[in-house]
Amino acid sequence: MKQRQAASAVGTRTVLVVAHTGREAAVRSARFVVDGLAAAGLAVRVLPGEAAELASPAAQIAATPAEAVVGAELVVVIGGDGTLLRAAELARPAGLPLLGVNLGHVGFLAEADPEDLAEVVDQVAAGRCLVEQRMTIDVTVRANGSVTDTTWALNEATVEKTAREKMVDVVVEVDGRPLSRWGCDGVVFATPTGSTAYAFSAGGPVVWPEVEALLVVPISAHALFARPMVVSPDSELAAEVIGGPPGRAYQAGLTGGATPGADGQTDASGTVLWCDGRRRVDLPAGARVEVRRGARPVLLARLGRASEERDGAGSASAGPAGTGPAGPEQAGGLFTDRLVAKFGLPVQGWRGQARTRLAPGQREEGRSGDA
């Protein structure tokens, strides 16, 4: 089936479609979206590594992944959260919103489900997507005082062990002051968006995405004080790898066997940094990982219906770029609904009622508890 190389006409609206081509359901859904958007008059691009599996004659094949986002207004992602995190590596530098269709398991980052595909096509074609900014973190790795790596994350940066039988030995720092030294499986530095990912599995709190904060969550720490912590979004966090093999060094201190040197260091690390489970940096003994609020957010698109249903508005923000902002009240309520749906939370017996937006000068009538 012949496909075209990407070359959108001047003035033509362009959308990039990214899919988990290892899943047949995702391939079928991606073809539906590509064909629907192309029929609506939009230019639709696909990545060169996915073109053969998608095999849609309506799709334009980008020459390289980097060129796929040039001139596009939106990235439609079909798969799970992992696929969306992969697409974010392309969309974030270009400032493009990501609209996710979840074909994974939990899918907190995705906006729509497979049954919403027709609505996704209609809303994208009409330019009726709202856009949320999601906080990111910038990560710097230092060894012997020199910067060796820089990277970023949307969900989390995790300093963790590489061997099952060992522990990592780290000192965590907040705003230039040491907080605690832990022998543990790792430490998660997460954003509010990442609070429902690895940090959640490690026992961290759920943080609503419009809350600005950073999370520090130790993983299986052998310590009396090892609680998850929420700190200012402007805090500067760090983890220093004391040494290794971490399990042996830590146990040596407990059992009175061989001990680390006077500076607390041993000769190896067995420690690694993972960002969003995608970008890996091996950490030598003595390495320092610094985490701070990211300079550039990730943009997540929401379907325009969210505004209409909650606020009674006649229409969501329209326009080719779909730049209508989603307000905090909208985002918070939608996230609550997503939590209830994803985890099947029991809400039977709730007796509240949906609030409606009042016109200027209009007074709210008394509410009955039996509504």
DSSP-derived letter for residue 135 is: -
What's the rounded Cα separation, in Å, for the pair 320 and 73? 7
Phi and psi for 138 in degrees, rounded to 5? -100, 140
Q: For the residues of 234-255, what is the DSSP string, one character each? A: T--EEEEEEESSHHHHHHHHHH
Tokens of 17: 């479609």
Helices then strands, counting H and E runs in the chain, come out as 9, 21
Phi and psi for 198 in degrees, rounded to 5? -60, -40
- What is the number of alpha carbons within 13 Å of residue 215 lying toward its C-beta? 33
DSSP-derived letter for residue 362 is: P
Burial grade of 12 (CB within 10 A; 0-12, 13-18, 19 or more): exposed
Neighbours of 185 (CB within 10 A): 19
Q: In what order do the strands lie in the sheet with 298-302?
A: 4-5, 60-61, 43-46, 14-19, 74-79, 97-102, 298-302, 130-134, 324-325
Q: Is there a catalytic annotation at residue 81?
A: yes
- Rg of the chain over Cα atoms, rounded to whole angstroms, equals 24
What's the rounded Cα separation, in Å, for the pair 369 and 257? 67
Write the single-letter amino acid at 207.
V
Question: In sequence order, which residues have a C-beta less than 8 Å from that of residue 224 and are 6 or more positions away?
Answer: none
Q: Which of 35, 81, 282, 370 is catalytic?
A: 81
Any idea which residues carry the catalytic annotation?
Answer: 81
